[in-house]
Amino acid sequence: MNFEEMKIIWDSQNREPLYAINAAALHDLVRHRRDEEHRRTACRHGLESLVNALCGVAMLFVGGLLTWGDPDWLATSRWVRVPIAPWHAVAFCLAGTAWLFCAAYMWIARRRQLRREEPFALSMQGDLERAIAHVGFQIQVARSILWWGLIPAWLAAGLCVAALFHLSNVSAWSYALIVMLMMVSFVGITWWQSHAIRHLYEPRRRELESLRAKLADPNA
């Protein structure tokens, strides 16, 4: 559904006597758009939270393994080619903690927004206000994810990669390559968040706000 579809239905009711039918059709479109946005957000946030949580648990497991694992077994492992130092375990544990923080941030932000949307009435106006609030939440997350999601995850990845590369005794070129890839991904994700705000979320919010204004004053 887009604004033009809703506008056609709304404008047509001024020329037809079946206002109730047109209002019901418009409400169905609003509900469809609201449910579609909620499903998309739930899927994206759920997937991001799950991936971050799994990465966090995996890094904590490796950190615990380096701390309490059998030294003889670790010494014969293919991926451990240098003596294990305390900083290796600390790096993995810090990385795991950062990833769990990212997962918790995404989950808590989602739950907080759902609670904020609960008071809206189960009506066309209420569903429209809920949809506008939800788009506002998406914009807020896109703007704050840099500090509360992307940077912690980026630092976590850097810590675990540095520790893993050092344990594996890889060449300096491997460090340079991974740093370059991380920088490119950081710039790319940051650009995409800014692009999504300007070209996806804000136009969507303007469409919904225009519809709200039209509903409030049909003659405007």
Pick the more confident residue, 35 or 216: 35
Q: Residues 63-68: what's their mean pLDDT?
A: 90
84-113 pLDDT, tens digit each = 889 999 999 999 999 999 999 889 988 888
In the predicted structure, residue 174 carries a pLDDT above the cut 90: no
> Among 141, 124, 147, 134, which Cα is nearest to 214's?
124
Tally the domains of the chain.
1
- CA 148 – CA 101 distance, rounded (Å): 8
Print the domain residue range for 53. 3-216
187-214 pLDDT, tens digit each = 998 898 899 899 988 998 888 888 788 7
pTM of the entire structure? 0.76
Question: How confident is residue 11, by pLDDT bands cut at 50, 70 and 90?
Answer: low
Q: What is the pLDDT of residue 220?
A: 53
Pick the more confident residue, 116 or 219: 116
Q: In 3-state terms, the chain is what percent helix, strand and coil (to 5)?
A: 85, 0, 15
Which bin fits 141, alpha (ψ -120 to 50), beta or left (φ > 0)? alpha
137-148 pLDDT, tens digit each = 888 888 888 788
- CA 106 – CA 150 distance, rounded (Å): 11
In the predicted structure, residue 182 carries a pLDDT above the cut 60: yes
Total count of residues recorded for the chain: 220
